[in-house]
Chain A
Amino acid sequence: MTSAITVDGLEVIFDRFRALKGVSLEVRSGESFGLVGESGSGKSTLLRAIAGLASVASGSITVNGKTLGARRDKAFYREVQMVFQDPYGSLHPRQTVDRLLQEPLAIHGFADGEKRIERALDEVGLGNGFRFRYAHQLSGGQRQRVAIARALILEPSILLLDEPTSALDASVQAEVLNLLEEVRRRRKLTFLMVSHDLAIVTHMCERLMVMQGGEAVENLTAAQLVAHRVTEDYTRNLLRASEGFVRV
């Protein structure tokens, strides 16, 4: 199986703070891979570094066989798209859904915009009726669907998902997770998904990496995690915490 994303010895430094301390990772093509950790573990920074949103101090990132430089070209963003955590912050408040979806199409010079917008909205379960609404007229779940539609409209092969459901209610979260699984199956996408919730990651991903303090703690398959076959204490703690409060 070919690899979709290869990260090797990645370092990210903000001022003097080392947010990532030499992290390596391989995501195979068509796979769904999870990054788990607490706040400050560097999981989001890793995702942002791949997307070109955090500058890399050293190490290399290879996507679909091409090693990335400091600047990403247009072709990169046709292959790799990102969905952010907060659907209230990631959509332009003064643009309609139609305008939001047209932007990536205009940047990449697609001619058949009309058809693509209709199809993208349809695919995320929003009818044409949502096309001329503004973000503030949508619920949190509907906004996240628009953000997913915007990511899918360029037909990328890789989606970077940064806590895509943590701002949503549990029932809406289930709907969005189902949608993501469905589009992945239909389009044979590769997912790299960040979450603080072990249950979500084991539900969505085949393999995962646990991170702490800018370093990789452990690489696991979802099956190993379910069977509690973990070797690091940190992972064991996370597992225990995800089972809820126990009175001592």
Chain B
Amino acid sequence: MSALLDVEDLRVTFPTRTGLIEAVRGVSFSLGRERLGIVGESGSGKSQTGRAIMGLTPPQARISARKLAFDGIDLLGISPRERRSLRGNRIAMILQDPKYSLDPVMSIGRQIVETLRTHEKVSKAEARERALAMLEAVQIRDPKRVFDLHPHEVSGGMGQRAMIAMMLIAGPEMMIADEPTSALDVTVQLDVLGILDRLVSERGMGLIFISHDLRLVSSFCDRVIVMYAGKVVEQLKASELGQAQHPYTRGLLNCMPRIGFERHPLPVLDRKPEWAA
């Protein structure tokens, strides 16, 4: 399997009044056409890792890496213009909450058409046709109606489907999903994951699924990376999560209440300073 994405020793540093803060401290992994989960708690650097790959790190931050290559293209070496032409076209990103990540003053259909016409030369009529087909592919029952709605007129689950449609319309090879279902109700969550799963496997895309929910990620992904304090503490196959070695991974799995497994009090994480070292 040839790697779609190669990350070696990725670092993201933010200058602050009190000195430099390293949000990501030497992360390395590679991604093929598979589903890779990145799991960690708030502040672990999982989102900043995704944003650095996408090229959405705030301008004041510094990024360095021995290697950050997408399909052989050195992402840190190319111009912002070339980076823009990759974004949305060959690499796409789904964000957490459609309430904030969709444009509130533009109809859903126009946003999808805009993405398509930025990256491909197609007529307005054809773009509209393809946008409608894409809305249908994400299981929106009445695509013609939803095409003309604005984001505030649809539910969270519907908004997230529209977001997926927008991200997939240019036919990307890699998708980064940052907590794509955390803002949704549990039952809607599964619908959206099902759609994402089907589209990703049909199109043979590489997916990076960023989440705080270790159990959800392990049920969805092929491989899981666990991050703590900006570093990767463990990489393992999702099916082998039960045999996790690192005490942080095991603690994270253990501390969640589970139906049918009574434990009072719940085991808590005993954080060791050497995990962050």
A joins B in a complex? yes
| Best-buried of B42, B156, B216 by chain A (most CB within 10 Å) | B42
A128 at the interface (CB under 8 A from B): no
Complex CA gap A203/B189 in Å reads: 22
Interface locus among A63-71, A74-82, A240-248: A240-248
Partner of A174, one of B188, B220, B269: B269
B256 contacts A170, CB within 8 Å? yes
A244 contacts B216, CB within 8 Å? yes
> Which range contains the number of B residues in contact with the other chain?
35 or more
A241 contacts B265, CB within 8 Å? no
A93-152 residues with Cβ-Cβ distance < 8 A to B are 140
Across the interface, which residues of A come within 8 angstroms of B260, CB to CB?
Answer: 226
B17 at the interface (CB under 8 A from A): no
Complex CA gap A218/B213 in Å reads: 28
Complex CA gap A200/B219 in Å reads: 19
Complex CA gap A175/B271 in Å reads: 13
Across the interface, which residues of B come within 8 angstroms of A177, CB to CB?
Answer: 257, 265-266
A90 at the interface (CB under 8 A from B): no
A38 at the interface (CB under 8 A from B): yes
B215 at the interface (CB under 8 A from A): yes
A38 contacts B187, CB within 8 Å? yes
Partner of B259, one of A178, A202, A245: A202
Min Cβ gap A237→B in Å is: 6
A178's closest neighbor in chain B, by CB? B265
Across the interface, which residues of A come within 8 angstroms of B262, CB to CB?
Answer: 203
1/0 per position for A225-248, CB-CB distance to B under 8 A?
A: 110000000000111011111111
1/0 per position for B256-277, CB-CB distance to A under 8 A?
A: 1111101011111100000000
1/0 per position for B229-272, CB-CB distance to A under 8 A?
A: 00000000000000000000001100111111010111111000
B187 contacts A237, CB within 8 Å? yes
Complex CA gap A237/B194 in Å reads: 15
B205-223 residues with Cβ-Cβ distance < 8 A to A are 212-216, 218-220
Which positions in A face B, CB cutoff 8 Å? 38-39, 140, 169-171, 173-175, 177-178, 181-182, 196-200, 202-204, 225-226, 237-239, 241-248
> What are 10 contact pairs spanning A and B, CB under 8 A?
A170-B213, A173-B256, A174-B268, A178-B268, A199-B256, A203-B257, A243-B259, A245-B193, A245-B197, A245-B216
